[in-house]
Amino acid sequence: MAEPSITLEVFRYRPEVEQEPTFQSYTVPYREDWVVLDALNYVKDEVDGSLSYRWSCHMGVCGSCGMMVNDEPKLSCAAFLRDYYPQPIRVEPLANFPVERDLIINMDDFMHKLKDVQPWIIREEEKPVSEGEYLQSPAELASYKQFSMCINCMLCYAACPVYGLEPDFIGPAAIALAQRYNLDSRDQGQDARREVISKHEGVWECTFVSECSVVCPKHVDPAAAIQQAKASGAIDWFKSVLLPRGSQ
């Protein structure tokens, strides 16, 4: 009895070989416990060593193996073949990003935006080490913990129709990480981040489609972070208009 198999239709783009992307079909063994990443590794190891893609941990932690699987942004290490069998699986690079080669996208735009929102703790003045740690209550941790789970997999950007149409949009993951630090009781950098996320290309560009939260493999809920940031920005604006300077 022949071993069951499944077909991968893989996006190929090799700039030194072809001017336009193509698709190449590969037949790989079908196994109940295999994910799309296992199938790609089989192709790479046994069939076509020229295939290029990113991956690292194979555990849904590093975020590097994000791809479009049958038109949906997925971590390929979490997309089981059994969910598609016996139909072919089409694998493409994440939408809304320039493609460097095959399934590898260029993430420079996101990295610049991530730096702009300063996703680290900012202190106006550090207390001496001798005074101990900056302690937090469980409630203070809970206020931002969900947004800290982002693994920078870019699935939310691939799913975001606003980013697809307006590449200047800061985007869901960067705003969620900005909100993570804005809510951190140890942080004092809210004013610096507000200048970035409250401008036209920031939170107000979001139309609340919420696909970013639907596809997030870590349930970060970037859509909620964006709405929280909108509410905070609106409150700050009203305070600046209604309250005398220095009384906010």
The one-letter code for the residue type at 102 is D
Mean pLDDT of 27-46: 97
pLDDT of residue 245: 62
Residue 161 lies in a domain: yes
Residue 247 lies in a domain: no
Full residue range of the structural domain in which residue 144 is found: 108-242
State pTM to two decimals.
0.92
The pLDDT mean for the chain works out to: 94
Per residue in 78-121, pLDDT (tens digit) is 999 999 999 999 999 999 999 999 999 999 999 999 999 999 99
Q: Domain holding 79: CATH number?
A: 3.10.20.30
Per residue in 146-193, pLDDT (tens digit) is 999 999 999 999 999 999 999 999 999 999 999 999 999 999 999 999
Percent of the chain at pLDDT exceeding 70: 96
Per residue in 57-74, pLDDT (tens digit) is 999 999 999 999 999 999
Residues 47 and 94 in one domain: yes
Residues 75 and 152 in one domain: no
Of 45, 73, 105, the last residue of a domain is 105
Of 79, 105, 131, the last residue of a domain is 105
Nearest-angstrom CA–CA distance, 129 and 40:
49
Residues 6+ apart with CB under 8 A from 13: 20, 21, 22, 99, 101, 102
Residues 140 and 174 in one domain: yes
